[in-house]
């Protein structure tokens, strides 16, 4: 090797060497404030926990556990290095470890519920495989509502799960049901709801009834008549499976009637005219079938059961624990509250966005007692999602998401359901349940509290990413985006300065976020690596429910685009409510 080559290699290695992580100046000053002669004693650490970390009930025993955990023993306490290790360690997370702490004795309609859409798809909405694997993954994450589209198989003698009218490959219903039973309560003991989009004949509906009862047995929730007057509570439904669908009907007969009605209304409009400019590049019949399938979903709960009452499958009908339905007419009919009957209403993302403009208060009233499900619009072929806050701020319980993808909307969904011990049920704020005054998210309210966020520093990319992942010839240039997702008045994003060539960026920047509705707010955190010539590289993200955010200096672990926690990447941040 020539001397010149040796120098280049040596320089290259030096550029990628990791410096020693050093405590920020604020941390050093706090250590000095609560220590004596370079040592923070048990009493000093306890005072720090109470005064800075706002852990009012912290004891000397709590302080001793921290000292023991950092494995940096000293006869009287910890030095600065050990104190910094505690602050940046896994024992100092940003969310309170409260477990399930919401009141779980209210009706199901009083909760936001972790809800999946087309839960069986492994990828896009048009050509991916159908499988029980994404269902298993969703249940492991804590998702509580699984959607299955059920169709006759190719020989019409059994039932498949697939996205009808597309090129998706089917999976047997029985395989999905068995996987649901096995994994339903791995992440949470609270009930799992299976929403069925039913495209079956009465004979196959009876077969589904047999499959469901044999698979789930005693854990299947069998509703009584009182269930349709008020929903039961999650506490009473622990480790139970609930079926939700519309009353059974002869699907093919009803669809034939519906298609004739649709044809007479549409005339001979082409598929392109019906779809606007968003028609996928599919061959003719597939486009028609795909659109018909989504029309059927969009009109999922039309009240056409009257046409075929003679052909109901009674065994199937008695399985329904949450009755779905949609009266004839428009928003006024759909959102009418019946004091003697509760129901589940489904609405597409597009229709819901129209409804909130003209019927926002009616939606809030409806969702006090009834369950509303909103699902992604039909043109989201790539399994992307929409802003879930629009649903939550109107009381929507089932904001249905494609869980197999990634993106900022899904990060918000993951963040919301970190609350309440990750059990998949989050109690709605009282103002969405208040019968005296209807909450209007469009009105700007007074500021309730202000969240002050200090972004100190980050670490871990050197260990979790290849050393040339961000830049081929130098360490990365990181910056952090931090902000709020919530009602329109609270939503904002800000960013730190870019720090060049540093695996251990130390920003030491402060941001303040006034919050008018902190109950619905999520703290958004993203790290990116600046790239002058191309799109900035992704360096991690997390979303945290403000309602459970711990005050004080905390270690904030970051996650990948798909929501998987990195082994080492984390930020050191300070949260204060002022």
Catalytic residues: 117, 163
**Phi and psi of 100, rounded to 5°?**
-75, 115
With b meaning 16 or more CB within 10 Å and e meaning fewer, what string describes 76-100?
Answer: ebbbbebbbbbbbeeebebbeeeeb
Can you tell me the distance from the alpha carbon of 7 to that of 14, in angstroms, rounded to the nearest whole number? 10
Q: Which helix (H) or strand (E) holds 543?
A: strand 537-545
Can you tell me the distance from the alpha carbon of 195 to that of 197, in angstroms, rounded to the nearest whole number? 7
| Two structure tokens written together for 470 | 């961000």
Is 347 in a helix, a strand, or coil? strand
Separation of CA 156 from chain center: 36
Residue 321 has, within 13 A of its CA and on its CB side, a CA count of: 22
Is 121 in a helix, a strand, or coil? strand
Can you tell me the distance from the alpha carbon of 491 to that of 505, in angstroms, rounded to the nearest whole number? 26
Can you tell me the distance from the alpha carbon of 532 to that of 166, in angstroms, rounded to the nearest whole number? 41
Q: Which helix (H) or strand (E) holds 493?
A: strand 492-495
| Two structure tokens written together for 216 | 């789930």
Can you tell me the distance from the alpha carbon of 284 to that of 52, in angstroms, rounded to the nearest whole number? 65
Can you tell me the distance from the alpha carbon of 76 to that of 179, in angstroms, rounded to the nearest whole number? 54
With b meaning 16 or more CB within 10 Å and e meaning fewer, what string describes 481-513?
Answer: ebbbbbbebbbeeebbebbeebbbbbbebebeb
| C-beta of residue 144 within 8 angstroms of C-beta of residue 113 | yes
| C-beta of residue 118 within 8 angstroms of C-beta of residue 130 | no
Can you tell me the distance from the alpha carbon of 356 to that of 369, in angstroms, rounded to the nearest whole number? 18
């Amino acid at each position: 090797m020539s001397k010149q080559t040796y120098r280049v290699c040596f320089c290259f290695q030096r550029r990628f060497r990791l410096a020693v992580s050093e405590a920020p100046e604020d941390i050093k000053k706090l250590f000095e404030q609560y220590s004596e002669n370079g040592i923070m004693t048990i009493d000093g650490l306890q005072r720090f926990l109470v005064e800075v970390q706002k852990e009012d009930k912290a004891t000397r025993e709590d302080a001793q556990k921290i000292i023991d955990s950092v494995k940096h023993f000293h006869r009287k306490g910890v030095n600065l290095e050990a104190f910094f290790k505690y602050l940046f360690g896994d024992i100092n997370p940003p969310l309170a470890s409260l477990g399930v702490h919401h009141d779980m004795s209210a009706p199901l309609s009083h909760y936001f519920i972790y809800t999946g859409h087309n839960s069986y798809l492994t990828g896009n909405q048009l050509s991916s495989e159908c499988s029980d694997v994404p269902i298993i993954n969703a249940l492991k994450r804590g998702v509580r509502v699984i959607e299955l589209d059920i169709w006759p198989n190719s020989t019409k003698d059994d039932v498949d799960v697939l996205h009808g009218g597309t090129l998706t490959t089917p999976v047997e219903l029985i395989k999905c049901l068995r996987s649901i039973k096995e994994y339903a309560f791995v992440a949470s003991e609270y009930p799992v709801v299976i929403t069925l989009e039913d495209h079956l004949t009465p004979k196959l509906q009876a077969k589904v009834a047999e499959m469901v009862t044999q698979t789930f047995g005693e854990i299947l929730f069998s509703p009584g008549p009182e269930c349709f007057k008020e929903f039961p509570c999650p506490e009473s439904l622990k480790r139970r499976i609930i079926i939700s669908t519309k009353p059974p009907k002869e699907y093919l007969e009803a669809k034939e009637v519906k298609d004739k009605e649709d044809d007479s209304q549409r005339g001979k409009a082409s598929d392109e005219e019906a779809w606007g400019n968003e028609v996928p590049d599919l061959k003719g019949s597939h486009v028609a079938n795909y659109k018909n399938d989504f029309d059927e979903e969009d009109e999922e709960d039309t009240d056409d059961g009257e046409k075929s009452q003679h052909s109901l499958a009674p065994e199937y009908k008695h399985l329904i624990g949450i009755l779905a339905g949609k009266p004839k007419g428009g928003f006024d009919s759909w959102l009418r509250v019946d004091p003697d009957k509760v129901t589940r209403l489904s609405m597409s993302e597009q229709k819901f966005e129209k409804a909130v403009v003209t019927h926002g208060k009616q939606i809030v009233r409806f969702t006090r007692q009834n369950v509303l499900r909103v699902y992604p619009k039909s043109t989201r072929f790539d399994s992307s999602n929409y802003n879930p806050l629009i649903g939550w701020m109107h009381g929507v319980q089932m904001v249905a998401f494609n869980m197999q993808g990634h993106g900022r909307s899904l990060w918000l969904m993951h963040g919301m359901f970190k609350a309440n011990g990750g059990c998949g049920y989050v109690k709605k704020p009282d103002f969405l349940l208040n019968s005296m005054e209807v909450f209007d998210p469009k009105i700007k309210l007074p500021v309730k509290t202000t969240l002050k966020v200090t972004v100190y520093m980050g670490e871990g990319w050197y260990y979790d990413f290849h050393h040339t992942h961000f830049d081929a010839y130098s360490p990365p240039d990181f910056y952090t985006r931090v902000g709020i997702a919530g009602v329109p008045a609270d939503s904002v994003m800000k960013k730190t300065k870019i720090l060049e060539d540093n695996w251990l960026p130390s920003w030491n920047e402060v941001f303040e976020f006034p919050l008018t509705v902190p109950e619905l707010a999520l703290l958004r955190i993203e790290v990116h690596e600046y790239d002058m010539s191309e799109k900035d590289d992704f360096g991690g993200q997390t979303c945290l429910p403000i309602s459970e955010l711990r005050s004080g200096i905390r270690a904030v672990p970051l996650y990948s685009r798909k929501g998987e926690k990195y082994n080492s990447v984390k930020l050191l941040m300070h949260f204060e409510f002022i």
